[in-house]
Amino acid sequence: MYNSPPLTGYYFSWCEMPSSIKVAPSLLAANFANLGQQIATIESAGADWHHVDVMDAHFVPNLAFSPDMQGHLNGLTDKFIDTHLMMEEPSRYVDAFIQAGSKNITIHVECNEDVESSLKNIKDKGLMAGISLKPGTPVESLDPYLEMVDLILVMTVEPGFGGQSFIHPMLEKLQYLRSRLDSLGLDSYLEVDGGINDETGRLCAEAGANVLVSGSYLYNAENPKQAIQSLRD
């Protein structure tokens, strides 16, 4: 079901563990009844970024996070806000999410827009620009954009919902992308999102990821500090 990259053409080298891992809890899993306390807890537990999953109920079968909802974060944090637009037409919302504090905006290569101009639009507004792909999309579809983005997000579940199981063949996409970035001399972030816990997070880091998005594992943890540390170990 998942088109793993071809085994020929590049060597599965045992990737060096990236120098430092960033942990980005996904707000999709937060309890919005007391968002202030949730943010304070996850930040004192060591979160580096906040990952905001935005869904339009067309590109993915769920609806999540308006710019106004993200805007509530502004008064609660000064951490880096990493916005993931799972949308057919992401460009329509870039300005609104910039207003709402986004520092990186990631769009999907499968979106219903000209990807290059959409990424350029984000960059021209002074933000980091990211590109993401669904599990069923071949990794080579990102090749044309690797030199223009600051971040690549490999979905390790079918986007739309938190709490799903990690799709292991996605590790080959990470290895392919890490070797492409290294051979191009690019220091872009390589991020994963979906089913990330201590075990899958380690596999992703060994395959070359250096930003781990995690929702249910972190927000449901008895001890969030220990859970975040387990993603860094």
Q: Which of residues 183-202 bind ligand DX5 (CB under 6 A)?
A: 193-196
Yes or no: say if 137 and 173 are a contact pair by the CB < 8 Å rule: no
What is the CA angle 67-102-62, rounded to 5? Answer: 45
Tokens 């972190």 found at:
218
162 binds, among ligand DX5, Zn ion, none (CB under 5 to 8 A by kind): ligand DX5
**Least separation in angstroms between CB 16 and ligand DX5:** 25
φ, ψ of residue 77 in degrees (nearest 5): -150, 155
Of the candidate spans 42-50, 110-118, 155-163, 184-192, the one that interacts with ligand DX5 by CB under 6 A turns out to be 155-163
Q: Which is nearer to ligand DX5, 179 or 210 (CB)?
A: 210
Q: Is 70 in the site for ligand DX5 (CB under 6 A)?
A: no
φ, ψ of residue 37 in degrees (nearest 5): -70, -40
Yes or no: say if 127 and 148 are a contact pair by the CB < 8 Å rule: no
Q: Is 164 in the site for ligand DX5 (CB under 6 A)?
A: yes
Question: Residue 232 and residue 202: Cα distance in Å, rounded?
Answer: 8
Of the candidates 67, 61, 160, 50, which has an alpha carbon nearest to the alpha carbon of residue 104? Answer: 50
C-alpha distances in Å from residue 88, one per residue of 61, 107, 118: 12, 9, 12
Of the candidate spans 10-18, 39-47, 127-135, 207-215, the one that interacts with ligand DX5 by CB under 6 A turns out to be 207-215
Tokens of 227: 């859970």
C-alpha distances in Å from residue 200, one per residue of 43, 172, 184, 221: 22, 13, 27, 16
* Annotation marks residue 53 as catalytic: yes
164 binds, among ligand DX5, Zn ion, none (CB under 5 to 8 A by kind): ligand DX5
Query: Which of 48, 53, 56, 150 is an active site residue?
Result: 53
Tell me which residues touch Zn ion (CB under 5 A).
53, 84, 193
Q: Which is nearer to Zn ion, 179 or 189 (CB)?
A: 189
**Least separation in angstroms between CB 154 and Zn ion:** 11
Question: Residue 27 and residue 150: Cα distance in Å, rounded?
Answer: 22
Q: Which is nearer to ligand DX5, 128 or 218 (CB)?
A: 218
**Least separation in angstroms between CB 100 and ligand DX5:** 18
Size of the site for ligand DX5 (CB under 6 A): 20
* Annotation marks residue 124 as catalytic: no
Q: Which is nearer to ligand DX5, 121 or 132 (CB)?
A: 132
Label the pairing between strands 80-86 and 63-64: unpaired
Q: Is 130 in the site for ligand DX5 (CB under 6 A)?
A: no
Catalytic residue numbers, as ranges: 53, 193
